[in-house]
Chain A
Amino acid sequence: MKKFVKNIILFAILPLFVVVAFDIYLRTNNSLYTEKYDGLLQQKELVEVLILGNSHATYAVDPTQFSDHYAYNLANVSQRIYFDKRLTQKALQEGLPNLNYVLISVDYHSLASSSQGIRNVWSYYANGIKYKEQNYLKETISPLIWGYTPKVAISLLKKDVVRSIKYGKEVVSFDVEHGVNIHDPLTKGYMGLEGQDEVRFTEAEYKSRAAIFLEKDDNKERAEIIADLSEFIEYLIDRDIQPILFSTPTFHEYNNYLNQDQVNRNISDINKLTDFYELSYWRFNEDERFLKDDFYNQDHLNKKGAEKFSKILNEKLNNYSVNNPPKP
């Protein structure tokens, strides 16, 4: 038995060292989540408009295009309404004295699921927001094994090393998705996608992409998500902040592959909310002003499209604010 225990310890030394080293690296690593949230807090006195949502809004809304209001994009990749709500509540507790409008992105799958998958825990590391009943014990013990997972952690390290060797401090210090220019600074929470990922514009890709977000008929979460969103809307209204629902443009060929029942169910549920709370819902999904050139892939705008969309959104908000001025 002694030999067995001794050999087990001997065997474990190297992996243990690697795990500890990686965990230290990951605990001190910047992420888009921390950068976005910290950026918001740094500008908290100025922010009048907050943009929320998942990657669609992350890449579609460029706050620098907003002329009459100081806007900040707090949307993030895969970020669900569940996290939009809690992030905003947290930020409001830390003070956003001039926040007047919150633009909440609700699209094809926003009401279908509240989990952002593996990114739930990333959000937790950055902002301390827990997903439902998760206690994150093991994720706290080792971010390498149970948080980021070794695959992601090694990829983060690899990108980090390559970035610093190649560019030093000229580029952003956190990981971004493929398509984002790392030379761009994060401005008002925004970094856009450059060019186009041509391979995403095929029938098979449209089908597959649409299938991922297809909601199951027996989804019991929808009611829960709508209730959560309602609570969020009430929370904002109580604080004299005006919520506005919106959805970003998606490529017209891709739209044909979305499940129409789900699309209609979304519209119906959103309309119920907007009727009840007397809110605006700006739906741009099928907006014909957006052409293939404006898209990075089937459902994300590129920088060009984002500029166009943000200007439209800005105009719409300016008009809206004339009739619905900020409450004193």
Chain B
Amino acid sequence: MLFNSLDFAIFLPIVFAIYWLLKRNTQNQNLLIVAASYLFYGWWDWRFLSLIVFSTLVDYTVGQQLRKQTNANKRKALLWVSILVNLGFLGFFKYFNFFQENFVEAFSFLGQNIQANSLNIILPVGISFYTFQTMSYTIDVYRRKLEPTPNFIAFAAFVSFFPQLVAGPIERATNLLPQFLAKRSFHYATAVDGLRQILWGLFKKVVIADNCAEFANQIFNNSDDMNGSTLLLGALFFTFQIYGDFSGYSDIAIGTSRLFGFSLRRNFAFPYFARDIAEFWRRWHISLSTWFRDYLYIPLGGSRGSTAMKIRNTFIIFIVSGFWHGANWTFIAWGILHAFYFLPLLLTNKNRKNLGNVAGGRRLPSVRELFSIGTTFGITVIAWIFFRAESISHAISYITGMFSSSMLQIPSFYNMRNGLITIILTIIFMLVEWVGREDEYAIERIGLGWSRPVRFTMYYVIIIAIFWFGGKQQEFIYFQF
């Protein structure tokens, strides 16, 4: 079920109403969440519900066994059961064909021809998200950071919680699970704030991402015929498409959770205003980057140890992060490129230079800040080309075409009038984001002090913009990851 669909518009109020009617019984509320989440997921393909159920059963059981088990080796074995089951699912559904094809190619390169048929595997929506979420539970229980819950319904609700089930934010058990065990009460201000965040998320997705997608797809799919300036525009369209799409989804997920009395982790913090790439990674897909930081980077030694170790760990985390996005060399290249961007900062100890908000307390950035933002944004755009391209060679030819003499020509693509409208909308959107950059989301505080009619007018304007400028409905990009 898509957030930007009629199905969800009907589903949400019904679940919301029943949920708060059950407010006296937390267990029943959790049960409702599990049922609603399974319905939400099954709307896409009910067959893959079995994977979520199985993953839930395995991690719940492992958690219970870890509570009883004191033997270190046996505890480690239990942890590996969980990791192998979760990564096994992920590996099979997401990476089987990739590894098979690459093995065949590698052997054929060595003169050995191997016959292997690819399997027609459908990638279950959200598998990369919920497997990581359940693994975080088991790992935290194993590390004794978290007490395993005996409440199976609460645990099942934690794994399958529909607002963030298919595209995150990837929640930590330490944050979300206790919320399922506690009594929830309805707060007017929280619910209204949730609705405002949903509204803003829908704007990002429907107005910005879906419109940018139309032109990004057109330009990337016909990149051989496009001049340099059009290719640059295509890369920019994709840059804003992926941001609007994914951060929009996160906003809707977080806002929806607030309607049910839950507080989810922040997933985006205005990453395109980052002053260096380290700051970008503290602001982009925060739930995933911190997951990798806590469960991979730090156990590997993090930024401690020799320079060689630091370089190794940086490459590992960025390559794994790239590979997490999909079984294609383009994602790995995207990760490697970011590793190269990040390394100089790490090796010169400048990776934690920009921790606060840019131009904090000021309206405009300084020239230096503007330059830093521009540079960081520019190299991020280059990296996105690898992310969006069909293959490494496509990315390289795209970049070569972009930096050719035709970059000085006037852009040319189909439906340029709408393209121009999309550019104007994106500029307005980024200006609003700039104004609200010190808040959780851009419009968090905008209009709060206004009278009701004026505030309502602001909401109406956003709603009209969503319907008026809404692009062709596209599936959320991160569903495929």
Q: Which residues of A contact B (CB under 8 A)?
A: 1, 3-4, 7, 11, 14-15, 138, 145-146, 149-151, 154, 204, 207-209, 211-212
Contact = CB atoms under 8 A, between A and B. Distances in A.
B414 A4 contact: no
B38 to A, nearest CB: 23
A4 B6 contact: no
A1 B186 CA distance: 7
A11 B468 contact: no
A117 to B, nearest CB: 9
Contact of A212 (B20, B192, B412, B414): B414
A138 B459 CA distance: 24
B100 interface: no
B225 interface: yes
Interface string B206-248: 0000000000001000100100000000000000000000000
B467 A11 contact: no
Contacts of A145: 467
A110 B355 CA distance: 57
A7 B453 CA distance: 12
Contact of A11 (B186, B412, B459, B470): B459
B460 interface: yes
A208 B467 CA distance: 27
Given A15-B463, A150-B467, A211 B191 contact: no
Interface in B399-457: 412-415, 456
A157 to B, nearest CB: 13
B18 interface: no
A154 B469 CA distance: 12
State which size class the interface on B falls in. Answer: 20 to 34
A225 B82 CA distance: 49
B413 A208 contact: yes
Nearest to A154: B468
Interface of B: 6, 20, 186, 188, 191-192, 218, 222, 225, 412-415, 456, 459-460, 463-464, 467-470
Contacts of A209: 414
Nearest to B415: A208
Given A15-B463, A154-B468, A4 B191 contact: yes
B471 to A, nearest CB: 11
Given A149-B467, A151-B468, A15 B460 contact: yes
Nearest to B413: A208
A149 B464 CA distance: 11
Nearest to A208: B414
21 contacts: A1-B20, A3-B188, A4-B186, A4-B192, A11-B456, A14-B460, A15-B463, A138-B6, A145-B467, A146-B6, A149-B467, A150-B464, A151-B468, A151-B470, A207-B225, A208-B413, A208-B414, A208-B415, A209-B414, A211-B218, A211-B225
A7 B192 CA distance: 10
Contacts of B464: 150
Given A3-B188, A4-B192, A151 B467 contact: yes
B412 A204 contact: yes
A179 to B, nearest CB: 16
Question: Top 8 closest A-B pairs, CB basis?
Answer: A208-B414, A150-B467, A204-B412, A138-B6, A151-B468, A1-B186, A4-B188, A3-B188
A270 B192 CA distance: 60
A211 B468 contact: no
A4 B470 CA distance: 28
Contacts of B463: 15
Nearest to B457: A14
Task: Indicate the member of B225, B460, B467 with the most A CB atoms within 10 Å.
Answer: B467
Contacts of B222: 211
Given A150-B467, A212-B414, 17 more contacts: A4-B191, A4-B192, A14-B460, A15-B463, A146-B6, A149-B467, A150-B464, A150-B468, A151-B468, A151-B469, A151-B470, A154-B468, A208-B415, A209-B414, A211-B222, A211-B225, A211-B414
A146 B9 CA distance: 13
B12 to A, nearest CB: 12
B287 to A, nearest CB: 28
Contacts of A151: 467-470
A207 B413 CA distance: 9
A55 to B, nearest CB: 17
Contacts of A1: 20, 186, 188
A245 to B, nearest CB: 29
Contacts of B470: 149, 151
B233 to A, nearest CB: 14
Contacts of B467: 145, 149-151
Contacts of A204: 412-413
A193 B459 CA distance: 41
Contacts of A212: 414
